[in-house]
Structure 1
């Protein structure tokens, strides 16, 4: 009996040891499969008065922005407020798309609405994904179009390493940025919208009878910190942009890819205490050129987007490698922002009135061709710069995949092509370009962002292997 039991325990121990070895091996394989560009942190500290880089660590490495995306959503919102296209009390209607966004969210039902100011406050404190999408739909007609407007504005501000795909920062493998670009955006928000920048220092606000507390734990903890934004998804890690003003010194710091909210905050605190004393007390000129628009945005848009003749095909086809180079697909798989505990100390704030409207039948995002006057006016101004990296430059190249008399159909083809070939188009941005023929307006469906003829042809070759017809064209 003793020998039998001994044999059983021996076999069990051996099996357990084997299982542990296999489990460890699997864990190493899974760990190695994570996206390489999100595997380590990035950081930068910039003197906000002189533009001097005081500290940099992989500042130009590609990262997922997560909720830092909402900084650009608010930039465009502030711009619309400044130009009088919307007001603080204008209603922001939540479509079915906006209401369906993942937490964190304000929780407005489809067809309901809040004021623009309430949407802003919910974004800077709660990082509400539904509010960001609703604002994007208000200003862009639909969220996809608003994302193109966001990327266009990024190019105007010099953020050349950033592409936006949505208004809230929820996971999208085609949405990326850099620490340097986020610092640029942080500086631009403070310089260009001082009348609205105070929203970023809001630690909580009243929504009806509910007090909603913020995510930015450095507000009130580190002297001089007055914003700006936190962000988190599983793929991005913990991100933070902080603006600090102490006496005559001002800095903006960015930390991306933190392993926890606490470690990210501690790293930012260390950067602030180390580099704020090294910032200049002089200077103070504008560091980020204000994104101006043409007096005649339609003519400016035509000069940027329309080629000299209809549907040109390059005369010379460059040598093409058999296999086009394509970036690896990456997948982000988590909701936006980690939950935060309630603050123990109430912060006095003004109460913002919440507006509710009668439920509308399935308030889906309106088509681009049915844009409201606010959308139309705003889109015209923003369209003066194309939402791709090189399309506004004479040497830029794009790929055309379709042409349609309906802009909505051209956009639908862009969306379909992006889903069919995400790797091939990982670094490209889709857009529609209008042209007239026989008195009828048509819309080309194109992907821009290619720096050379050869790069465009290689990508087109890869698309053709997926049975997608296309050709390369110089902008």
Structure 2
């Protein structure tokens, strides 16, 4: 049997990909689908799943409102810019999560349903286990960087599949290309959905740690497929790779229909009730290892017949693109692309310069451990004839400024978050 040498694909340690049949779970393409990766804003699919559950249980309605907390208002971009104490309608929150990938809205929903975001993350992880997502742990509702928040391509396929199966009446939110709020129109970042015929969802994501992530569904000739690509080096190569592996899978299904288990390809059944555990996505066993390194898991019936040259091009496009990784589209959920660092925290004001310097030296290790990019500053202002020396840490975003002060205040230290203006 011909095989693909995986060395080039795995040159990108963030990369993983999977294509499954949405109805049967048959695996049509698999690269490193069980290896843990960072989910980035694909996390918000679970946030939305739990929100859909609450709606279906009658705990909340689409025209109800969530209230915005101070913590939610200070979340970094991508965001709607919600003001503390304001309200956002549940349906608008869904649209903002799916289309805008708004981090402030993710925190609003988490607090509205779980009390606190950390408590909601526990519910997210618990639900992941119920759905069969055995290698996923959530620590927040948005996908903002957290080293403990991990997933796999397999688990993201399970989540995508269950969103489609369990909530068909709400799937249209993932198909929307835009929504209007507060006088502005926000457009989808899912360019595969916008440019590929038959594609109709679901979610993008990006952080520096994760690379470019994407979950996509597409339906052609009565077959719906789910594609997951994690760790793309750029949004362009991620999108191209997704199109390649989905199109190849559709061609192979048409050419060889027995790739899909006909017993499982039944007429659509009534949706599963929230909480019902579906059969886990079937992952094919690993292929026979080569002399150099083990092969990634591939469905054997597919591997023998797929157009190998096409797949080589597909893998190379996402795994070996060496262009700079700085083209992040503002709004894909990244805390670092488009992040505005115009905040500071003032930790003391003194009549002597050395007192301010000493305060900086006392606190700098703890602050820099949490915000390595923070900069130290001592400046002077005059109050009448007296000089006042102010000790500050600058180059923070709003969320970092707020959480830094919260940590210091818990230790009994004074701290004042400040928005810097030119």
Normalised by the length of structure 1, the TM-score is: 0.53
Is 1:62–2:33 an aligned residue pair?
no
Q: Is the 8 A contact 1:61 1:178 kept in 2?
A: yes
Give runs of ≥4 in structure 1 deviating > 6 Å.
285-289
Shift of 1:50: 1.1
Partner of 1:265 in structure 2? 239
Partner of 2:86 in structure 1? 112
- Which ranges of structure 1 fall in alignment gaps of 5 or more residues? 1-35, 295-333, 342-418, 420-475
Shift of 1:277: 3.1
Residues 152-171 of structure 1 deviation map (CA, whole Å, 9 limit, x = unaligned): 00000000000000000000
Partner of 1:183 in structure 2? 157
Residues 201-243 of structure 1 deviation map (CA, whole Å, 9 limit, x = unaligned): 1111111321111110012311111111000000000000001
The alignment partner of 1:244 has SS state of strand
Shift of 1:291: 5.0
Pick one of 68, 72, 85 that aligns with 1:98. Answer: 72
Pick one of 304, 329, 332 that aligns with 1:338. Answer: 329
- Which ranges of structure 2 fall in alignment gaps of 5 or more residues? 1-9, 254-259, 278-324, 333-368, 370-422
Aligned CA-pair RMSD: 2.8
Any residues of structure 2 matched to 1:261-340 within 5 Å, and which? 261-279=235-253, 280=260, 282=262, 283-284=265-266, 291-292=274-275, 338-339=329-330
Shift of 1:124: 1.0
Q: Is the 8 A contact 2:165 2:272 kept in 1?
A: no
Partner of 2:123 in structure 1? 149
Partner of 2:102 in structure 1? 128
Pick one of 216, 222, 225 that aligns with 2:199. Answer: 225
Q: How far apart, in 2, do the equivalents of 1:278 and 1:123 lie?
A: 34
The alignment partner of 1:251 has SS state of strand
Shift of 1:339: 1.2
- Length, aligned pairs only: 269
Q: How far apart, in 2, do the equivalents of 1:38 and 1:64 lie?
A: 14
Q: Is the 8 A contact 1:93 1:111 kept in 2?
A: yes
Q: Is the 8 A contact 1:63 1:176 kept in 2?
A: yes
Normalised by the length of structure 2, the TM-score is: 0.60
Partner of 2:228 in structure 1? 254
The alignment partner of 2:193 has SS state of coil
Shift of 1:145: 0.4
Q: How far apart, in 2, do the equivalents of 1:118 and 1:225 lie?
A: 23
Is 1:166–2:140 an aligned residue pair?
yes
Q: How far apart, in 2, do the equivalents of 1:277 and 1:72 lie?
A: 31
Shift of 1:289: 6.7
